[in-house]
């Protein structure tokens, strides 16, 4: 699973999380955080989150192909039927599907809405 979330502050804090879930063995995650000084609308931020997740998913996919591993990569999007992002769900999901990945939205998108979100909250305070 790959998911990105963002939190506006003095600059926008983006966190991309990679979650590795192994049935019966639990999960482990890794994340990277970075800042963007530009002012972005909510729609721009959501598309930037999706873009960052796709970039990481593409990198992982290439490495998995090199290692001859056949593992499904899901991209978890921080959009849902309830809330301000409901109007752009189809656009963002189609962007992910067009790149060859499975898309998950809230409430099934724990990679973005839980894991990455956890780290944007603490980082936005110092950004």
Q: What is the mean pLDDT of each run of 10 residues along the chain (127 residues)?
A: 94 96 92 93 97 98 93 95 95 98 95 88 54
pLDDT at position 55: 98
pLDDT at position 112: 86
- The Cα 56–Cα 33 span in angstroms is 13
pLDDT at position 68: 92
pLDDT at position 88: 97
Structural domain span for residue 92: 2-124
Domain count, the chain: 1
Which residue matches tokens 């894991």? 115
pLDDT at position 47: 98
| Token code pair at residue 98 | 């067009």
- The Cα 37–Cα 32 span in angstroms is 17
- The Cα 48–Cα 4 span in angstroms is 9
pLDDT at position 127: 46
pLDDT at position 93: 98
pLDDT at position 123: 45
pLDDT at position 102: 97
Average pLDDT, the chain: 92
Residues 76-110: tens digit of each pLDDT:
999 999 999 999 999 999 999 999 999 999 999 99
Which residue matches tokens 């800042």? 35
- The Cα 109–Cα 103 span in angstroms is 8
Q: What is the largest CA-CA distance in the chain?
A: 43
Query: What phi and psi values does residue 16 have, to the nearest 5 degrees?
Result: -110, 125
- Listed in sequence order, the residues at least 6 apart from 18 whose beta carbon sits closer than 8 Å to its beta carbon are 1, 2, 29, 30, 31, 56, 60
Q: Are 76 and 2 in contact (CB under 8 A)?
A: yes
């Amino acid at each position: 699973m790959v998911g990105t979330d963002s939190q506006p502050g003095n600059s926008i804090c983006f966190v991309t999380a990679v979650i590795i879930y192994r049935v019966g063995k639990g999960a482990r995650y890794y994340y990277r955080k970075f800042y963007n000084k530009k002012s972005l609308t909510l729609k721009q931020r959501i598309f930037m989150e999706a873009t960052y997740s796709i970039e990481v998913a593409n990198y992982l996919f290439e490495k998995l192909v090199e290692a001859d591993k056949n593992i499904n990569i899901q991209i978890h999007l921080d959009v849902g039927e309830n809330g301000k992002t409901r109007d752009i769900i189809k656009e963002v999901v189609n962007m992910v599907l067009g790149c060859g990945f499975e898309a998950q939205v809230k409430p099934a998108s724990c990679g973005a809405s839980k894991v990455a979100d956890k780290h944007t909250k603490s980082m936005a305070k110092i950004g």
